[in-house]
Structure 1
Amino acid sequence: MRRFTCGWLVPLFGALLPFGAAAQDCEPRHAKSAQAAGECRFQNPPNPMAKPHRSSWDIWSRMLLEKKHGTVPVDPVPVRRQDRAALDALDVSANHIIRLGHSSHLLKLRGKWWLIDPVFGPRASPVTWAGPKRFHEPPVALADVPQIEGLILSHDHYDHLDVPTIEALKDRVQRYFVPLGVGARLREFGVAADRIEEFDWWEERKHGEITITAAPAQHFSGRTLWDRNKTLWASWSIRSGNERIFYSGDTGYFPGFKDIGQRLGPFDVALMENGAYDSYWPTVHMTPEETVQGFQDVGARMLYLVHNSTFDLAFHTWQEPLQRVAALAEQKGIVLATPEIGEALTLGKPRANKKWWEGMK
């Protein structure tokens, strides 16, 4: 039997099993959102550029019947291990981004620790015995994760909101910053309600010295068949001192990138989704060409690629997203960051980018 591996089909996979959070009651604040769609659901804004999706039947048939080639690395993915001593040694006056894999990142922002979409579990799945399996171990052991000032979530899909990770870290996280509706997920997993802050798009708040703003994205949400789009999805702006970080979350290409850049930029670095795209589902993930265009629309100084190299979530080869964007970046003179898993990138510090995937099978 074939594995269920497509990232946006993971919620459907969960619906076939007695796992995953159930649909939530509608909260009055959600109904007032500009993204509200009625029946306690959210929607994307109109996008005249959006391409049509294939039918659910076509997608399921392809997932079950089509053979994949080269979607999982044969050679070991290089991982730079980071223990607690190495983390503590990072300059407390600077802003650092440590790649944990896929879209998961550990940030040290002027001495304070933050997490983005942390997934330390073995699979992007509602269960541990089936679903997309990690290509590599996390570069930081859960036991070495320090006290976390803030944890940011982009949406509730299994490859971004991981229950074992949330449960393991809930006593080490001071505050959670999530899109509308995702707070109910966290409360179900044992997180205290008074430590959760929910955001609609364009809402901005400060936590200590950090300013966090939720911004638009073009995606969808849900962890079962019955709760599709019951929670909102978002991209995020993080401002620490004089430096700004943009994180796209999961998104298709949409005109809103330009608005984000104009309202929240300029950004020093943009963590842009690059992986799990396919012509069968063109509006929920970006092709490499769209990733580059979205980056140019946002107007950041450095393009940092995420959402690849950890899980088998589509039909393209595992190296393809990196190869295609690297070629485009070279043609267009874009400053590119493709850090190895576990590598720490320090904003404002010169670095030599490495195409670590080259020559790997």
Structure 2
Amino acid sequence: MTISSLDAVTIEKDRFFLPTSQLNADGKFTNAKPVAELSWSRILGFMNRALFEKKVNTVPSKTIPIEKLSQHQVNQLPEDKTSVIRLGHSTILIKINNQLWLLDPVFSERASPFRFMGPKRFHPTPIEISELPSITGVILSHNHYDHMDEFSIKKLKEKVSKFVVPVGNGAQLNSWGVNQDKIFELDWWQSVNVNGVQIVATPSQHFSGRGLGDRDKALWSSWVIRDENTNLFFSGDTGYFDGFKTIGEKYGPFDLTMMETGAYDEQWPDVHMAPEETIQAHKDLRGRKMLPIHNGTFDLAFHEWTDPFEQMVDLSNREWIDLMTPKMGQVITLEDDDSVDKARDLHWWR
């Protein structure tokens, strides 16, 4: 999209931090720190584990408590404060500067290219897409099925004014019927300003692909979301890398970091963070409060589904991290001490 066609929106490039994503000779994006290639041996190794390794407590045995949301409740969120609502996995609804933004919306029953197989939700979404009011924008971190969901995008496209995505992801949205004028593709260190809310694409260490032939053809990203009063960080999916320190130096401190903590495994340590690494990344970012995400909704790894929560509570107590573990659908209004306090150490997963 060209700048001349924007209404109350500007696209900017940080003159001190030039875009650092790179296309190699094969037309693929690369990380600043190389990660292991997805070889056939690794794929076969994972398939062998998935078929024959016994999983223990990777799926809840009881109903997960959630807080149902209505359109009226969303409309009544404070206009002059910032509210954050975790809807499941990495899907988050934010109200900032009196604008509604959706992060990585996945409302499907499964995180999969198929409707009949693949990881199934542990819990219903606290609010249906049909109940959502108009949304200022959707922010996508990358194109994996548990973050970029065709069903959700097609249902949301008429409610949403803008889709902010990493470079290379616009064509997929366009093929799902999203109007090209709504799509903003950003490289790392580029930003878009929407009526006082600045959205900055920042580096992450991950990969992309929705099939066997499109590995790394589209970029992945973490995001800074801020206005005059509030500064938020959304990690998307990422391994630990020194880019967190750079982001923290440039854009921190953050009032809240929403950090990936789940689906980690010794077989893929460079593209997902272990809990200790999530804590360190939060420190690097100079975060004040932390919300662990990428857990509690889908069975995507071999660890127990409660493990991310238990480890983060233990680590945050030892490291003096202000951790929030709200129920899905619970409203956190950052400027409201009572609201924030209710989201701390709930242990709802027990």
Fold match by TM threshold 0.5 = yes
Give 2:159's match in structure 1, choosing from 135, 155, 172: 172
Which amino acid is the alignment partner of residue 88 of structure 1? Answer: N
Corresponding residue SS for 2:87: strand
Aligned to 1:129, which of 116, 119, 144? 116
SS in 1 for 2:146: coil
Displacement of 1:52 in angstroms is 9.6
Post-superposition shift, 1:265? 1.2
The whole-number CA distance in structure 1 between the counterparts of 2:316 and 2:149 is 32
Q: CA deviation at 1:57?
A: 2.4
Work out the CA distance in 1 between the residues paired with 2:292 and 2:305: 13
Q: Which amino acid aligns with 2:267?
A: Y
* Aligned equivalent of 1:221: 208
* Displacement of 1:357: 4.0
Q: Secondary structure at the match of 1:59?
A: helix
**Inter-partner Cα distance in structure 1 for 2:280 and 2:161:** 36
Matched-pair contact (CA < 8 Å) for 1:52–1:282:
no
What is residue 10 of structure 1 aligned with on the other side?
none
For the Cα contact (< 8 Å) 1:319–1:357, is it kept in 2?
A: no
Whether the 8 Å CA contact 2:234–2:257 is kept in 1: the answer is yes
Task: Give CA-to-partner distance per residue, 1:78-120, whole Å, 9 cap, x none.
Answer: 1100101111111111111111000001111132111000001
- Tell me the TM-score normalized by structure 1: 0.87
In structure 1, give the amino acid aligned to 2:104.
D
Figure out how many residues of one structure are paired with residues of the other and give that number.
327
CA contact (8 A) 1:157 1:221 kept: yes
Structure 2 equivalent of residue 72 of structure 1: 59
In the alignment, the residues of structure 1 paired with residue 154 and residue 113 of structure 2 have an alpha-carbon distance, to the nearest angstrom, of 14
Q: Which amino acid in the other structure matches residue 243 of structure 2?
A: G
In 2, the alpha carbon distance for the partners of 1:221 and 1:152 equals 16
Q: 1:243 to 1:222 in 2, by over 3 A?
A: same
Aligned residues of 1:44 and 1:218 also touching (Cα < 8 A): yes
Cα deviation per residue 1:21-60 (whole Å; 9 max; x = unaligned)?
A: xxxxxxxxxxx9642122221011126xx78988332222
The offset of 1:164, in angstroms, is 0.6
SS of 1:77's partner is coil
Task: Quote the residue 1:212 is aligned against.
Answer: 199
Correspondences of 1:22-101 after superposition (within 5 Å): 34-46=21-33, 55-101=42-88
**Identical residues among aligned pairs (%):** 43
Q: Secondary structure at the match of 1:342?
A: coil
Note the alpha carbon deviations across 1:179-233, whole angstroms, 9 max, x for none.
0111011001110111100010010120111001000000000000000000000
Q: Kindly tell me: are residues 325 and 239 of structure 1, through their superposed partners in 2, closer, same or farther at Cα, counting changes over 3 Å?
A: same
Cα 1:348–1:89 change in 2 (3 A) is: same
Deviation at 1:358, TM superposition (A): 5.6
Counterpart for residue 24 of structure 1 = none
Give the match for residue 200 of structure 1.
187
- Show the counterpart of 1:158: 145
Structure 2 CA distance for aligned equivalents of residues 112 and 286 of structure 1:
30
Residue in structure 2 matched with residue 273 of structure 1 by the alignment = 260
- Counterpart pick for 2:232 among 245, 248, 255: 245
Pairwise CA RMSD of aligned residues?
1.6
- Tell me, yes or no, if structure 1 residue 331 matches structure 2 residue 336: no
Structure 1 residue 344 corresponds to structure 2 residue 331 = yes
Q: Aligned-pair distance for 1:314?
A: 0.3
Question: Which digits, 9 at most, give the CA deviation of each residue in 1:281-325, with x for residues without a partner?
Answer: 111111111110111111110011100000000000000001001
Letter in 2 for 1:158: Y
Q: Which runs of 5+ in 2 are unaligned?
A: 1-18
Q: 1:70 to 1:343 in 2, by over 3 A?
A: same
Equivalent residue letter for 2:280: Q
Structure 1 pair 358–79 and aligned structure 2 pair: CA distance change class (3 A): closer
1:333 to partner: Cα distance: 1.0
Give the CA deviation at 1:241.
Answer: 2.5
TM-score normalised to structure 2 length: 0.90
